[in-house]
Amino acid sequence: TEARISDQQSIAQETIDQILPLIDYLNKDTNIKQEGLFRKSGHLGRQKLLREKLHSGDDVKSELQSGVYCAHDCASVLKAFLSELPEPILTERHYK
């Protein structure tokens, strides 16, 4: 049982490590104020590349800062990560 709990925690930490650069990037004033940030989709090719880099554990911070990806690319990838989580972030036990 302890191994199973440990595996779940490491997976959760891995997911956090993957999406944290996206959240930091989107939190910048110029990005968070983008019109339709979580409604408009970014470029599918860039999104695919970004997802692959995040899944492989590559450090994408410098690419995010250099403008390789736009805010809409990052928001779309973040939404996809969140929708693929095995359990919602806010479960009933968190908001009752």
User: Containing domain of residue 28, as a range?
Assistant: 2-85
* Within a domain: 92: no
Alpha helix stretches (DSSP H) within the chain: 2-26, 29-32, 44-56, 61-66, 71-83, 92-95
Q: Which of 21-30, 42-51, 57-66, 71-80 has the lowest mean pLDDT?
A: 57-66
- Structurally, how many domains does the chain consist of? 1
Model confidence at 95, in pLDDT bands (50, 70, 90)? low
Supply the pLDDT for residue 96.
61
* Within a domain: 90: no
* Within a domain: 30: yes
The reported pTM is 0.79
* Within a domain: 50: yes
d(CA 64, CA 25) in angstroms, rounded, equals: 7
d(CA 76, CA 41) in angstroms, rounded, equals: 6
* Within a domain: 94: no
> Would the pLDDT of 7 be above 60?
no
* Within a domain: 93: no
* Within a domain: 8: yes
